[in-house]
Structure 1
Amino acid sequence: MIDLFLSEPRCDEDVDSGDSMKLRASLLNELESTIWSVITSGSRSEARLWLCNTIAGMTSITPRHQCELFLNLLKSQKHGLASQLLHMMFEKKPQMGGSILAKRSHILEIFFEGNPKRALQWFVNYSSGNGLELGKGAKALSQFAFKNRDICWEELEWKGKHGQSPAVVATKPHYFLDLDIQQTVENFLENVPEFWSSNEFTESVKDGDIFFIDRQFFVQYFIDLMYEEDAGDIWEVIGEFLTGQPFSSLCHHLLITLEEQDLFSFLKLLRRCLHPTMESKYFNGISSLFEIVLAKSEVPGSIDRILLLNAIITQGRQLLRLLHEEDAQNSQERVKEIVSKISAIPSNSNSLIFFFKNACEMSTSEVMKCLGLQCWVLYYRMSQECRTPESWESVFLNNHIGFRRSDKYALLDDDGLSDEQIVDKSRKKRKARKKRRRNQDLLDDYDDALVKFDPTSEKLDMLSNSGSWLLSTDGYLATWTNVDLPDHLHLHCLSKWMTWLFAK
């Protein structure tokens, strides 16, 4: 029997802290060591990525706080982080960087000098439905040249045998398409410095499109503005960008660039912004549950404890995958042995929670770690032992979880996808065929999504031995397949336990 420990503790119940409970705590420590050895033996970088993904899923961080979090890191001379942020800003909001560059457009003299390829890219003409038209750079150059013809007309180089006069170009502005762009830009670089700070040229770069010519050049230039000149306007724009972006997007783009110590510093800052609701009904995902752990934990001496807690709380399926890899065979056997011993300990839902909560020698972090490990034990057992509808029904009944069978099946296709993920697609195709193939057998209706059934097929056996469920744990709102039940019940159990742990 798998006991999910869902009986709410009673305050008047005696705490059983006898040998069986001490044995459970000892075995959980052994399990921790085994799991940590798997993580550190080659999957530490993956564990960091798991942590970054969990943080990205947090929804309680306000725009003001996310701006403060990343600005604190950026202002500590994190050039790698700054580079990644600028790449992100140039990609998503180039006009924000363009507004900074426009104030310093003279720097583009250096950008174009000695680099005809860049000049041709920016001052190029482009094809449209009406033929060739001036590009942004070429248009700025032509407007400036005509407006200031008394000082720069001689610097225009024409492709024809002779140049064009201002009077002719005034009536036929398309003649500017005949400019020798490369030579003209070189002349302007050498003899017309006024152009590079002119309103015409400034306007042409405001939208930030110029960044795409050589993004790395501008990234380095902006980093110099940030850290060498400490320019106030660049920091203001960066703050505006950080405030306006989704927290999840910032995390996915920026946290992966941090060294472990910097990520640890970020987590310590993040804890100050977390004020999670301590009622399990408000836990809308695994990331919100991890907020509880992060907010309530004491600050550890290193990031190791947080990596472990995140792995056992949010990455049950991935840990199983690591254990099933060839080089983790010994760890897999060890975990199996430890889980078997823990499962053999007589269980008492109330005394288990009270034991962890009232064990005076345990810190809050230690208690949460033990609860996380115990919950992963349940995840492991459900993943390994519950393979049939009967086994799941036993879990539901023994833990007083109301359930109803769904009319959908949990048959997996060759790619490991459940029918819930592919039946919708099949139904659309089925409707399109219906008028032409009314008498077609039902199996053929799904021939592009489900395997064809064979009376001797193993997948037919899977169909008869699998299903999906509606559970009272979420008010019968979601349909859970056998594959997803361990994840759902793991979250449900740990949410309950954390709520009881911090109940006043």
Structure 2
Amino acid sequence: MSSVTSYHQRDLFVNLLRSNKSPKRALLASQLLQLIFEKRPQIMGSIIANKSYMLKKFFEGNSRRILLWFSNFAAGGGVEHRKGAKALSQFAFVNRDICWEELEWKGKHGQSPAMVATKPHYFLDLDVQLTVENFLENVPEFWSSNEFAESVKDGEILFIDREFFLQYFVDLMYKEDSTDVWEVINKFLIEESFSSLCHRLLILLEERDLNNFLVLLGKLLNPKLEPKNFSNSSYLFEVILSKCSDCGSIDQMLLLNAVINQGRQLLRLLRDEEGQEEHAKIKDIVSQICAIPSNANSLAPIFMKCFKTKTVKAIKWLGLQSWVLYYRLSGDCQTPESWESLFKDNDIAFHTSNKYELLHHDDLSDESGSDSDRKASVRVKHRKKGKRKRRKKNFSRDDTYDIELPDFDTTDRVLGLQANAGSWLLCTDGYSVSWSSADLPEYLSKHCLSTWMKWIFAKWE
């Protein structure tokens, strides 16, 4: 999204978080807070440090939390106490006149400040639970002290009970409208990548909220779209959003994005066993479209309608037309000879590349492909004992993702290509890329779409 600035993305997501009409507002806020906990816990830790007194309730009556946070005393050897143990020991020494008697020891007698000062590992004999319970009841100064605030500043305490702190910060956002929390959220939304925020947050939205988000996004995109970028898949999606986001439904945008940017995946899904009925219907429609006489003026009626109709319909027609071309090329061009015949019939000058490669079973070459295909790793497996297995989408922590699609038998389709699959340099891109048989259907269909879009936008201007 080259036209979305960091301040745009902040405004988009703050609008969702502030919306009183969204039934999932609190859930969305909780998901965003989890992302902040994972990536920058220290910025939330600084808020907790300024309100450290509230953690008194966090530890009251909860021995598990007490032991996890305050039992990290060092055994010596130059290693320091950690977390709450460090805060407890430092505060006890500085304020020994008011709290040393509250320390509970496991041995027969207590330890003096002087003895523990020379042998810090003696703190290992401290009965942590009883001591902290004494501090909760009798030493209120500790919970608002600099020592305790410093121990929680790095945000590590968030992970002792993540659900508690998620609810705590959601309450700060909506019940108290905390300026400190909203400032942190605004800063994070500016600095975090747009794709990361979308992957983590948009999946939670109901269709109405998602549609509203896309409408706002479409309005923020650069209104002066330059036709020179139509060959870029990401830019094409920006065009779709800017021109189609207010059509009242996300169905149009989902369809257009599928045919323009996910052509290979769409075709694979159609070829799956469970999509045979739909595949047959689409095959029949494609055959009817391709029955139009193949002459220089065959697309004229389509473009005449595009020049006159609304933007949404025109872009939809062109997107579908490009996918029909992709579908037909994927099925009809099975040999190098068929490709070269196609080039000649359409006045596409070409050179045979010196580099020949066998097709992989996933039909993707290593040197080309769509932007989405470079991000998506598509794995296709053969049948095993007549059974097929579906795989789930797996999202990794760094927000990259693999798309594992339904498997299907590719044997019949690629056997004719494996022996003589070559690659060509074409005049359509200035002979700059070596295109393989696997990538040509997608490249040529997108090249046509880019050209058609330039014509249409030039006419509209």
User: TM-score category by the smaller chain?
Assistant: 0.7 to 0.9
Query: What is the CA–CA distance in structure 2 between the aligned matches of 1:476 and 1:389, rounded to whole Å?
Result: 18
1:63 matched to 2:14: no
Match of 1:357 among 290, 306, 323: 306
Give the TM-score taking structure 2 as reference length: 0.82
Counterpart for residue 407 of structure 1:
354
SS in 1 for 2:220: coil
Deviation at 1:277, TM superposition (A): 5.9
More displaced stretch, 131-140 vs 119-128: 119-128
Q: Return the letter of the residue paired with 1:222.
A: F
SS in 2 for 1:134: coil
Counterpart for residue 267 of structure 1:
214
Q: Is the contact between residue 410 and residue 420 of structure 1 (CA under 8 Å) also seen in structure 2?
A: no
Counterpart for residue 152 of structure 1:
99
Shift in CA distance, 285/120, structure 1 to aligned 2, threshold 3 Å? farther
Question: Following superposition of structure 1 onto structure 2, how do residues 4-403 of structure 1 map, counting pairs within 5 Å?
Answer: 58-77=1-20, 78-125=25-72, 130=77, 133-275=80-222, 278-283=225-230, 285-297=232-244, 299-347=246-294, 348=297, 351-352=300-301, 354-359=303-308, 362-403=309-350
The RMSD of aligned alpha carbons is: 2.5
Q: Which has the bigger relative contact order, CA under 8 A and spacing at least 6?
A: 1
SS in 2 for 1:400: coil
Report percent identity of matched pairs. Answer: 62
Shift in CA distance, 163/286, structure 1 to aligned 2, threshold 3 Å? same
Counterpart for residue 36 of structure 1:
none
Deviation at 1:228, TM superposition (A): 0.8
Query: Which structure 2 residue ranges, 5 or more long, are not aligned?
Result: 369-412
Query: What is the CA–CA distance in structure 2 between the aligned matches of 1:307 and 1:274, rounded to whole Å?
Result: 18
Deviation at 1:294, TM superposition (A): 1.7
Shift in CA distance, 400/246, structure 1 to aligned 2, threshold 3 Å? farther
Shift in CA distance, 210/490, structure 1 to aligned 2, threshold 3 Å? farther
Q: Return the letter of the residue paired with 2:209.
A: D
Q: Is the contact between residue 280 and residue 496 of structure 1 (CA under 8 Å) also seen in structure 2?
A: no
Q: Is the contact between residue 69 and residue 85 of structure 2 (CA under 8 Å) also seen in structure 1?
A: yes
Query: What is the CA–CA distance in structure 2 between the aligned matches of 1:130 and 1:395, rounded to whole Å?
Result: 78
Count the aligned residue pairs: 409
More displaced stretch, 117-126 vs 412-421: 412-421
Q: Deviations over 1:19-47 (max 9, x none)?
A: xxxxxxxxxxxxxxxxxxxxxxxxxxxxx
More displaced stretch, 194-203 vs 174-183: 174-183
Deviation at 1:87, TM superposition (A): 0.5
Q: Is the contact between residue 125 and residue 132 of structure 1 (CA under 8 Å) also seen in structure 2?
A: no
SS in 2 for 1:502: helix
Q: Is the contact between residue 412 and residue 419 of structure 1 (CA under 8 Å) also seen in structure 2?
A: no
Q: Deviations over 1:61-91 (max 9, x none)?
A: 1000000000000011511111110000000
Query: Which structure 1 residue ranges, 5 or more long, are not aligned?
Result: 1-57, 422-457
Q: Is the contact between residue 74 and residue 124 of structure 2 (CA under 8 Å) also seen in structure 1?
A: no
Counterpart for residue 439 of structure 2:
484
Deviation at 1:170, TM superposition (A): 2.5
Q: Is the contact between residue 356 and residue 370 of structure 1 (CA under 8 Å) also seen in structure 2?
A: no
Deviation at 1:350, TM superposition (A): 6.3
SS in 2 for 1:125: coil
Shift in CA distance, 420/365, structure 1 to aligned 2, threshold 3 Å? closer
Give the TM-score taking structure 1 as reference length: 0.75
Deviation at 1:418, TM superposition (A): 4.4
Query: What is the CA–CA distance in structure 1 between the aligned matches of 2:427 and 2:90, rounded to whole Å?
Result: 71
Q: Return the letter of the residue paired with 1:71.
A: V
Counterpart for residue 453 of structure 1:
none
